[in-house]
Structure 1
Amino acid sequence: MSAFRNSNFDRRTALRAALGLAAAGGLAACGGNTGRSGSGGGAGLTQYFHAYGEAGTEQAIKKYAKAYKESNVTTQWITGSNFESKLFASLLTDKAPDCFEFHPQLQMIESGQVADLSDLINPVKDDFNPADIASHTVDGKIYGIRMIDDPQFFFYRKSLFEKAGVEVPQTLEELVEAAAKLTTDKVKGAYLGNTLHSIINPLIWSAGAQHLDDKNQIAYHTDAVVDGFKQLRKLFTSGDLLLDAPTESWDPASLNQGLTAMQWCGMWAMPVLLDTFGDDLGVFPFPKIGDAGKQSVYNGGWSMFVNAKGKNVDETKEYVKWLWIDQKEYQEDWALSYGFHIPPRTSLAQSAEKLKTGLPAEGVKLFNEFGHFDNIGWTQASITALEDVMANCVRKGGDPDKELTKADAKVNKELKKLFG
């Protein structure tokens, strides 16, 4: 993967690309290779986490950190929907965290922002899901430790499906038809999130496409993907889709409160929904699109990274190893006590009693059969480009092929930075 080495894609370029920031402005005052000022000499470490929706998560992370005796670890629990922008902005300053959770992105490796953690992971590499290892590996080096795997799929009310005479949709056309039959004066047929952003990746995979091909060229712009966006536009304008819900799709509240008959959400929400609906709750993958398509399950998940630009790299690596490699009790607690996530450690996944039966076991089965992982070459700017496609052609009625062509130009600009 020698193409991954591009000296022109420096730290500032990477983070500006991620944030969509202009070259000028407030960032000009930031030093190039600063770390965290005044953080050495036992002053402690700082870690960044986004605010999880499950009750008890913030307390759990702080409890783990407090149990670490070698250093004082402070947790910044970032609330709101702009975790990414706050994280990337902080990484350009001397207040940057020593470690932080995020998703594997090549731009952060290319810019030297995240540290090589191969020495931590290699001794236990065979105990990790191979796909998690592969999605964090560049030139044989592993960057980031997977903390949780988060499969996402549709949750649905079995009784409402039965009452409406609806079978579980196998294709996107069937999903649109099912939403129409399930809609009443009180309940909408489906909820895909207010922004619809969470279904962009599954739409691509279910259409038999990928974001990038093996040569790191655009592979998402296909006739089936175009058709998928057209079908979503039909659903969006049908009156059968829940719009302007109180919370985004990551929160199960819309299904839990009876606002919709089915909702795209993550496995993390399963305990809450099971408490409400019990055996009336079911799950199914994102339906296939076109003859070459296949149902898909998006594996989101979060990983821990060490800030290679910080002044406490070695200390931070020791802490990260202690928590996310050595402390399997905490790792299991984090994955299974505050919502259901699949532990990336094979030994923990196999011993997780909560995932062995019922709907959790079905979720694991869907994850194993239909799961897709993030592409490490897919940058924040590329993510935004496809979010614009969703907004412009599904919400506003633009032509999907033309909107994808506009996205192609933005994505190709990113690919040129990364791969030359």
Structure 2
Amino acid sequence: MVASGKGKGFGGSFSGPVLGRRGVFALGGLSAGAGVLSACGGNTGRGEADGDGPVLSQWYHEYGEAGTQQAALDYAAAYPDARVGVEWIPGDYDAALSSGLLAEDEAPDCFESHLNRGMVEAGQLEPLDDLVADVIDDIPESDLARNTLDGTVYGIRMIDDPQYIVYRPSMFEAAGIAGPPETFDELVDMAVELDSGEVKGIDFGEASGADRLGQHMIHSLGLSFIGADRQAGFDDARMAEGAGSVRRLSESGALLLGAPTAWWDPSSMLQGLTAMSWTGLWTMPALLEGLGDDIGIFPCPGFAGGAPTVFNGGWSAFVNANGPNVEAAKAFTKWLWVDHEEFILDWCLSYGFHIPSRLSLRAQADELTSGPAAEAVAIADEFGWAEDPDWTPAMNTAVNDMMSNIVIEGADPEEELAAAVATVNDELDGIFG
């Protein structure tokens, strides 16, 4: 029910593709017609209209949850005012989208992604204020903010996916551990206690958490990715201290490495390979089916005296401002992601669990009102944070490189923090300077 390859889960990446002021990040090609699926018989993406209205191309990354592909096709086929070809993009979706938006004949009319300033400044995103005007009070404030830049709404949130740590209460009890950790250092100690050799303490993925924990650390410590002065907002000695805690986990031997699937797939938990694992709400149905009531969850514990955190990932719908049928693409996007609430609920609850991005629909999501799923919603509300549209992939890479160099390579934390801050400041100077 969940993804089985990199980038296929519902959670989404922290930063989308960027075409910024200083150039184009065309990170990889997309062969003509790659991954194309027909929503209308023999249609294979954008082609010639046949009297049934305009022909639109809609792009998704390759979701792994069973049924999602067919659902996307069914939604498109139900639309009466255009022929909609659905492209299911495998592999590195952000790179494919960066390239695809530059291809005149193959570019999508509408697509899912994450808002960033580079796409706006490149003129790629059509404003969508008019599409959400009638439901704007029904959109959670955080979902509206993550799709708004300089007062203009560019995206419509499709799903919210909190990411957290899942654990086996039975294994905690057997090890004499009373409950979830309150600090990241306590998490390291518990992982060591839970490590029996055959069953590891925790699965953070092959990168040992270096590909996400730096961002959580920033939020945990009450810092900002980008400060009010438009410089890196995380130049704080506690960052180096927190990175040292992650390195201690990496050196402890308690991490599950070489898992059969990546972190966003629950296989390591379902197969009893680990007592704890980083995951997201989309895996909840599979975990409930496989483990019953032997499931507990908790947010990422705080670093260096900071607070717990939950990254609220997910995806949003956008319209290509340079497409041949902009108004038709806007009409379809509104029809699917604003007007047809039954499709939104189906997408959020039938193929894995996701929090709907409308307050009124959250009230109808019975599947999220009890058990661990309800706990996930609660910690997302209490500790959740989302991406900053001004945070670019290059900035994200700088933080990930900092963490990887400290955690895996054993580099000096203070020096790596200074290098990451310098890289982010250079990026910001290029954007706002």
TM-score (norm 2): 0.87
* Counterpart contact for 2:336–2:344, Cα < 8 Å: yes
Structure 2 CA distance, aligned partners of 1:351 and 1:376? 30
Aligned to 2:24: 16
Letter matched to residue 284 of structure 1: F
Aligned to 2:288: 274
Letter matched to residue 55 of structure 2: G
Shift of 1:393: 1.5
Superposition pairs for residues 240-259 of structure 1, below 5 Å? 240-259=254-273
* Counterpart contact for 2:46–2:57, Cα < 8 Å: no
Shift of 1:162: 0.9
Given the alignment of the two structures, is residue 134 of structure 1 paired with residue 142 of structure 2, yes or no?
Answer: no
Superposition pairs for residues 368-407 of structure 1, below 5 Å? 368-407=381-420
Superposition pairs for residues 9-408 of structure 1, below 5 Å? 11=19, 13=21, 16-17=24-25, 19=27, 42=53, 44-80=55-91, 82-94=92-104, 95-166=106-177, 167-195=179-207, 196=209, 197-291=211-305, 293-408=306-421
Aligned to 1:30: none
Structure 1 CA distance, aligned partners of 2:290 and 2:284? 10
Structure 1 CA distance, aligned partners of 2:78 and 2:72? 10
Structure 2 CA distance, aligned partners of 1:337 and 1:75? 19
Q: 1:54 to 1:14 in 2, by over 3 A?
A: farther
Flag structure 1 segments of 5+ consecutive residues without an equivalent. Answer: 1-9, 27-35
* Matched residue SS, 2:190: helix
Structure 2 CA distance, aligned partners of 1:363 and 1:410? 34
* Counterpart contact for 1:99–1:305, Cα < 8 Å: yes
RMSD of aligned Cα (Å): 2.1
* Matched residue SS, 1:107: helix
* Counterpart contact for 1:17–1:381, Cα < 8 Å: no
Q: 1:310 to 1:176 in 2, by over 3 A?
A: same
Letter matched to residue 141 of structure 1: T
Letter matched to residue 136 of structure 2: K
* Counterpart contact for 2:20–2:121, Cα < 8 Å: no
Structure 2 CA distance, aligned partners of 1:330 and 1:140? 28
* Matched residue SS, 1:190: strand
Letter matched to residue 150 of structure 2: D
Letter matched to residue 355 of structure 2: I
* Matched residue SS, 2:81: coil
* Counterpart contact for 1:14–1:111, Cα < 8 Å: no
Q: 1:38 to 1:15 in 2, by over 3 A?
A: farther
* Counterpart contact for 1:40–1:312, Cα < 8 Å: no
Shift of 1:131: 0.8
* Matched residue SS, 2:202: coil
Structure 2 CA distance, aligned partners of 1:160 and 1:243? 19
More helix per residue: 1
Q: 1:185 to 1:37 in 2, by over 3 A?
A: closer
Structure 1 CA distance, aligned partners of 2:26 and 2:245? 30
Letter matched to residue 206 of structure 2: N
Structure 2 CA distance, aligned partners of 1:209 and 1:262? 27
Shift of 1:373: 0.9
* Matched residue SS, 1:46: strand
Structure 2 CA distance, aligned partners of 1:414 and 1:37? 36
Q: 1:37 to 1:270 in 2, by over 3 A?
A: closer
* Counterpart contact for 2:264–2:280, Cα < 8 Å: yes
Shift of 1:40: 7.3
Structure 2 CA distance, aligned partners of 1:248 and 1:198? 14
Structure 2 CA distance, aligned partners of 1:332 and 1:14? 40
- Share of identical aligned residues, percent? 46
* Matched residue SS, 1:63: helix
Shift of 1:406: 1.9
* Matched residue SS, 1:300: strand
Structure 2 CA distance, aligned partners of 1:64 and 1:38? 19
Q: 1:53 to 1:14 in 2, by over 3 A?
A: farther
Shift of 1:319: 0.4
Structure 1 CA distance, aligned partners of 2:20 and 2:117? 14
1:242-294 Cα shifts (integer Å, max 9, x gaps): 11222221111111111110011101101100111111100000001123x10
* Counterpart contact for 2:234–2:421, Cα < 8 Å: no
Given the alignment of the two structures, is residue 412 of structure 1 paired with residue 428 of structure 2, yes or no?
Answer: no
Shift of 1:11: 4.7
* Counterpart contact for 2:312–2:380, Cα < 8 Å: yes
Structure 2 CA distance, aligned partners of 1:113 and 1:221? 32
Shift of 1:39: 6.8
* Matched residue SS, 2:75: helix
